[in-house]
Amino acid sequence: MRLIRGGYPREISLGSVDIVAAPEDSPPFTVDGVAFEEDTFLVLSADRRVRDPREPLVRLMTRVIETRPETPGTVLVKGKRPLRLLAIVHDLNQDPSWREEWIVSALDGIFREAESRRLQSIALPFLGTSHGSLEKERFIELLRSALERMSPNHLKRLWLVVPAGASSRILETLDTESQK
């Protein structure tokens, strides 16, 4: 693994995958898929604008009543390129709303989907750190383990979307682990 020192963007190679860490407002390249931190009822990605419903209230209420939660740890794929990879890592009915095993499972699912859909590049936020209290350094460790478990044939580039205020030092975990 190779590490380029300095600020963002920062690049690390792990096997055949180049990982570029950069903030959300500075995309280092275009991506085929974007992962999002999500909850079981898809509330976190819901449109927050208040609008008049376009369907009768009875039909709308029936849909709400019939809605079933998604399974924590799974990944839903929505949209077109770039695909939206919704990582279900929160259950808002629980406290805390996230579990580390859900994040691990979602990371595996994201990489599985990327391979099965022949995605060459994806953007990945620090799951469990935005709406949960997972430490950024721990997420990096989980990410490294997930990347080591996969055998990418198609995925070549990973844009690690660095949270606001995150230090570039957190990526040294990836480099440090490879030198052991």
pLDDT in tens, 109-130: 999 999 999 999 999 999 999 8
pLDDT tens sequence across 27-36: 999 999 999 9
In a domain, 1, yes or no: no
In a domain, 115, yes or no: yes
Bridge partners (DSSP) of residue 87 are: 37, 75
Alpha helices in 8-166 (DSSP H): 57-66, 100-116, 136-149
Which residues, 6 or more positions from 147, have their beta carbon under 8 angstroms from its beta carbon? 14, 15, 17, 111, 158
In a domain, 5, yes or no: no
Residue 34: both structure tokens together: 């974007």
What's the total number of domains in the chain? 1
Alpha-carbon distance of 124 to 101, in angstroms, equals: 17
Specify which of 18-22, 84-88, 175-179 reaches the highest per-range mean pLDDT.
Answer: 84-88
pLDDT tens sequence across 38-88: 999 988 876 666 666 677 777 766 766 777 899 999 999 999 989 999 999
Name the pTM for this structure: 0.85
Domain span at 20: 10-178
Bridge partners (DSSP) of residue 162 are: 23
Kindly report the average pLDDT of the chain as a whole number: 85
Report the CATH number at residue 67.
Answer: 3.40.220.10
pLDDT of residue 3: 40
Alpha helices in the chain (DSSP H): 57-66, 100-116, 136-149, 172-178
**Confidence class for position 176, pLDDT limits 50, 70, 90:** low
In a domain, 2, yes or no: no
In a domain, 73, yes or no: yes
Residue 68: both structure tokens together: 């079933």
pLDDT of residue 4: 40
In a domain, 167, yes or no: yes
Which residues, 6 or more positions from 104, have their beta carbon under 8 angstroms from its beta carbon? 73, 142, 145, 146
